[in-house]
A and B are shown apart, each in its own frame.
Chain A
């Protein structure tokens, strides 16, 4: 087997806040970016996608010098897959894991493309007819959020992000058209992640677990089946 190319800096990007997104960067450019388009198969597809991406560009996972992981917000079960993966890889490879807000990555993508003139929003689907969103200044700096809420309660600003695909009301008359990115790019995450605000490596849980201490017990005398 030939020698593997050596990069003195190789950043791995991992994000499972929406679909499965991975990427690699040498700090100057995006080396690779891969997506698995399915919002429900994170635990199945993340590791194989990482494995094929790394081998396809002729590298070995041990060449990774840093990891950037999207910590959401996003649906929790999928989100945890990326964070658990990044933390374990970081521990085993002995490299630093940096967490960033996933919405910030989409904001960078928009800035790199046909950038909006003024303030703008990034929104992703939060299920339960809600969206995760954040507000950015024209310079791309996050000024509000991330938050979770109903799509019709968002400020009337240009909006990008995958939520536009599931919540058509985000494209209502008082907004400019949806011309920003609709999908997070793992390569941009790997390239820009080290410069984005550090969000920590805890998931951005914007909702509390659905659980309540048990209430008073119902009588089984009047309703013999009540406890079933």
Chain B
């Protein structure tokens, strides 16, 4: 039997994504983003995102079918993000997926968005040796996962206890007077904004590394905290201003970024070693961050750990990640979801399929 042909729909945050895969082969990955509409608010506004999903969903589905040169009738199944995510956003994708299933008679799989971030790597690097560790970092999530089976068994071993890493980037960007989203902007400023001579010194300011003190490691070995870091940056900047000193933007950006990436990579590597995992997969929008990639690559290599990173277009939210996860469910013969499944804004990663 040939590999299953699956259409996947993603609408959990501010990207409307529709992807089509055949097994681990990518045929289409169409994304409509509403990020521009959120810029003036300095963060994703759920109602604005939901309205944009409704506008984008049908054209994005039609584009994906055209790109993949596939007829709905040829599909083996449809997959859609059931959660976690923004409620108003999720329901648009789910309603669309259910309507597709109703109109075509195809089975429908409601799947976990976080598991999708892990599964998407199959499109680029093939089967994932298990157990593996996955580090997911974006504006919405910061989690360390133990992956025993990409379609059926993923366990969260750590998560942020306050802000997501991407959220910390957004907030620090705002207090430095930089634009939203903060991740790419801070990375760029830290690297000198196009002039390597002007790159910031990541050791210029020693910002705190959350949950890395000996006492914190007892309870929160694999957890993250970025709220204190953000406050420390705000404090440092305000003190300089109060004393009439200039703000060395590149140094602040580089030092802040170093603090985030240092903690993320140290805990991810520690997780691999403690679980005996030889593969570390990264996903989510922040996985595209240059400094995080370099630091992870260095530290992984020192310990003989293979680093797997999907290309940036697959790290951010997209429909292909949902399609490839759906393909895994179908290949394993798992039963489709009942047509009355709900959107679950807090769906735990331990439930890959609803």
- Chain B residue with minimal CB distance to A36? B340
Known contacts A85-B99, A88-B58, A205-B51; A51 and B238 CB within 8 A of each other = no
A72 to B177: give the CA distance in the assembly, Å: 40
Identity of the chain A residue whose Cβ is nearest the Cβ of B47 in the assembled complex: A209
**Residue pair B98, A46 in contact (C-beta under 8 Å):** yes
A and B contact pairs by CB, cutoff 8 A, 14 listed: A48-B340, A76-B47, A80-B53, A81-B95, A83-B54, A84-B54, A85-B96, A92-B72, A93-B103, A203-B54, A213-B42, A217-B234, A221-B242, A227-B230
Smallest CB–CB gap between A218 and chain B, Å? 9
Give bound CA distance, A211 to B14, whole Å.
15
Interface range for A? 35 or more
For residue B175, CB closer than 8 A to chain A, the reply is: yes
Q: Does B125 contact A (CB under 8 A)?
A: no
**Shortest Cβ distance from A23 into chain B, in angstroms?**
16
Interface pick from B85-93, B153-161, B181-189? B85-93
B58 touches A217 (CB 8 A): no
Flag whether B171 is at the interface (Cβ < 8 A). Answer: yes
B340 contacts across to A, CB distance below 8 A: 44-45, 47-48
**Which residues of the partner chain A approach B100 to less than 8 Å between Cβ atoms?**
88, 92
Q: Are A224 and B235 in contact (CB under 8 A)?
A: yes
Q: Is the CB of B40 within 8 A of A48?
A: no
Return chain A residues, CB-CB under 8 Å to B101: 47
Report how many A-B pairs have Cβ atoms within 8 Å. Answer: 128
Contact B99 A89 (CB under 8 A): yes
Does the CB pair B342–A44 fall under 8 Å?
yes
Residues from chain B with Cβ under 8 Å of A76 in the complex: 47, 50-51, 88
Give per-residue flags for A210-228: 1 if the beta carbon is below 8 A from chain B beta carbons, else 0: 1111100101110011011
Give the CA-CA distance A52 to B230 in the complex, in Å.
53
Decide: A209 near B48, CB < 8 A? Known: A44-B342, A47-B101.
yes
A71 to nearest B CB, angstroms?
Answer: 11
CB pair A43–B94 under 8 Å, yes or no, is: yes
B253 within 8 A of A: no
Are A211 and B47 within 8 A (Cβ)? yes
Residues of A with C-beta under 8 A to B98: 43, 46-47, 85
Nearest B residue to A210 by beta-carbon distance? B47
A176 at the interface (CB under 8 A from B): no
B99: which A residues are within 8 A, CB to CB? Answer: 47, 84-86, 88-89, 92
Give A contacts to B, CB under 8 Å: 41-48, 50-51, 61-62, 76-77, 80-89, 91-93, 203, 205, 209-214, 217, 219-221, 224-225, 227-228
A77 and B87 CA atoms in complex are apart in Å by 8
Asked whether, in the complex, the Cβ of A87 is within 8 Å of the Cβ of B58, the reply is yes
Q: Does B231 count as interface, using CB distance less than 8 angstroms?
A: yes
**Which of A80, A209, A210 lies in contact with B91, CB distance below 8 A?**
A80
Question: If the complex has contacts A43-B91, A84-B57, A214-B174, are A227 and B231 also in contact, measured as CB distance less than 8 A?
Answer: yes
**A51 to B47, alpha carbons, bound, how many Å?**
29
Given contacts A44-B342, A214-B174, 16 further A-B contacts (CB under 8 A): A44-B340, A44-B341, A47-B101, A51-B339, A76-B50, A77-B50, A77-B87, A88-B58, A203-B51, A205-B51, A209-B47, A210-B47, A217-B234, A221-B242, A228-B227, A228-B231
Residue of A nearest to B39 (CB): A213
- B88's partner among A77, A205, A220 (CB-CB below 8 A) is A77
Residues of chain B in range 28-77 having any CB-CB distance to chain A below 8 Å: 40-42, 45, 47-48, 50-51, 53-54, 57-58, 61-62, 72
A61 and B103: CB pair below 8 A? yes
CA–CA, A227 to B96, complex, Å? 39
Q: How many Å lie between the Cα of A83 and that of B62 in the bound state?
A: 17
* Cβ–Cβ contact A209 & B342, under 8 A: no
Closest residue on chain A to residue B175 by CB atoms: A217
* A224 touching B231, Cβ below 8 Å: yes
The answer to the question of B239 belonging to the interface, with a C-beta cut-off of 8 Å to chain A, is yes
